[in-house]
Amino acid sequence: VEVKVPHGGVQVHFLRIGPQGRIWAGASYVDAQKEERPWGIVVIGLDGKALFHRSSTLPEEDRPSGSLALPDDLRDVSFLQGDLWLATGSGICHVIGKTQKIVQITENEGLASELVYGIARDPEGRLLVGTFGGLGRYDGKFWHFDFPAPLTSAARTMVPARGGIMVATLWLSRKARTV
């Protein structure tokens, strides 16, 4: 699928297989000043056609049918019970089911940090979020950031492993260790 960006080529930050087998890809590009610029998310259908979701300055009437005004700086996506949960540099963007109502979740709603790197489900289906402020979980009403160290440090990514979740953190120890 060809993805046109304002300058250079597209960079892909993540790929996820979503509902109905579509591919979800977080995109960015490098501008003429060699600075990375976010470019939203591309959803590729089984027919090979792409649908772009961006918060660009396009007015509603210029948006392709089905396109959502999502933040451009998307870092990860998770699918849970018909909802989309998107990790962004400005919190979590929650797209609610068929209504497609967009709710932005920030520190005001209980996140430890609005810099969200990843979002995933654990083996029990609970939502986990990796933020600059550590690993958190959502109980359906509230966010909890009560995991022990090193999960209190920036949690960069999460992957399912051995019936649990492996979390990559930026844990700094005062004691040097050789690995």
Say what percent of the chain tops pLDDT 90: 37
Helix (H, G, I), strand (E, B) or coil at 61: helix
CB contact burial 117-143 (16+ within 10 A = b; e otherwise): bbbbbeeeeebbbbbbbbbbebeeeeb
Q: What is the 3-state secondary structure (H, E, C) of 34-99?
A: CCEEEEEEEEECCCCCEEEECCCCCCHHHCCCCCCCCCCCEEEEEEECCEEEEEECCEEEEEECCC
- What is residue 59's predicted lDDT score, i.e. its pLDDT? 52
Amino acid letter, 130: G
d(CA 27, CA 41): 6
| Angstrom distance (rounded) from CA 37 to CA 31 | 7
Q: Rounded distance, CA 43 to CA 83, Å?
A: 15
Kindly report the pTM of this predicted structure: 0.83
pLDDT digits (tens, 9 = 90+) for 23-59: 999 989 999 999 999 988 889 988 888 887 877 545 5
Sequence-distant (6+) residues with CB within 8 A of 139 are 126
What is the rounded average pLDDT for all residues in the chain? Answer: 84
Q: Which residues make beta-bridge pairs with 177?
A: none
Model confidence at 159, pLDDT cuts 50, 70, 90, reads: confident
